[in-house]
Amino acid sequence: MSQKEAHDQGLFSDGQQASFRPIQVYSNYIEAHIALGRLQEEGVSCWLKDENTVTINPIWTSAVGGIKLMVAQVQVARAIEILDSVARVQQEANACPQCGSLNVMLVSTPRKAVNWFSSLLGFFLGDLAVGAHKVNHCFHCGAEFNPSSFSTP
Ligand SMILES: [Zn+2]
């Protein structure tokens, strides 16, 4: 949404940003952007705070408390609803292919060092195989498989 559109919707007044609230904190640039993109698709006015600090030096993530997803106060309830449904869909999409369990968690693979820059590049190129650095681990049967939640819509 452009600044003008936002202004037209009353989200900005006198060039000042209307009140925004952090509804989620991310330590991961890509996750933050996926959430941001989803909300924007739904017409939610939102932006990422402290994004640059984290991106420039991921080690600072803990120092600044991560990337904050800021949402216009009036749209907070809707934004939370959207993120909840996204999380639910992702969880279901990541059900274990072997046993169907939802008790699955994304874990880093020890085999490769995480290269955040190539991940970033992959994100912008739409090749979300960046998830290759992580696999889903099923805590029910122990199977490991590639995450499917990082697919583009
Ligand atoms: Zn399983």
Q: Which residues of the chain have pLDDT under 50?
A: 6-16, 111-113, 127-132, 149-153
Tell me which DSSP letter residue 27 carries. S
Write down the pLDDT at residue 140.
Answer: 93
Q: Where are the domains of the chain?
A: 3-92, 94-145
How far lies 145's CA from each of 94, 111, 120, 136, 152, in Å? 9, 14, 22, 5, 18
* pLDDT at residue 129 in the model: 46
**How close is the Cα of 134 to the center of ligand 1, in Å?**
17
- Give residue 23 CA to ligand 1 midpoint distance, Å: 32
0.85 surpassed by pTM: no
Q: How many other C-beta atoms lie within 10 A of the C-beta of residue 61?
A: 19
| C-alpha of residue 129 to centroid of ligand 1, in Å | 22
Write down the pLDDT at residue 63: 58
Distance 130 CA to ligand 1 centre (A): 23
Mention every residue, 6+ apart, whose C-beta is less than 8 A from residue 72: 11, 18, 19, 20, 44, 45, 46
Confidence at residue 108, expressed as pLDDT on a 0 to 100 scale? 72
CA of 139 relative to ligand 1 center, distance in Å: 7
Q: What pLDDT is recorded for position 79?
A: 96
Look up residue 83 and give its amino acid.
L
- Tell how far the Cα of 60 is from the centroid of ligand 1, in angstroms: 35
Coil/strand/helix, residue 85 = helix
Q: Which residue type occupies 8? A: D
Which residues have their alpha-adjacent CB atom under 5 A from ion ligand 1?
96, 98-99, 101, 138, 140-141, 143
- Identify the pLDDT of residue 14: 43
What pLDDT does residue 99 have?
Answer: 94
Ligand 1 centre distance from Cα of residue 113 (Å): 25
**137 alpha carbon to ligand 1 midpoint, in Å?**
8
Distance of CA 8 to the CA centre of its chain: 27
**C-alpha of residue 102 to centroid of ligand 1, in Å:** 8
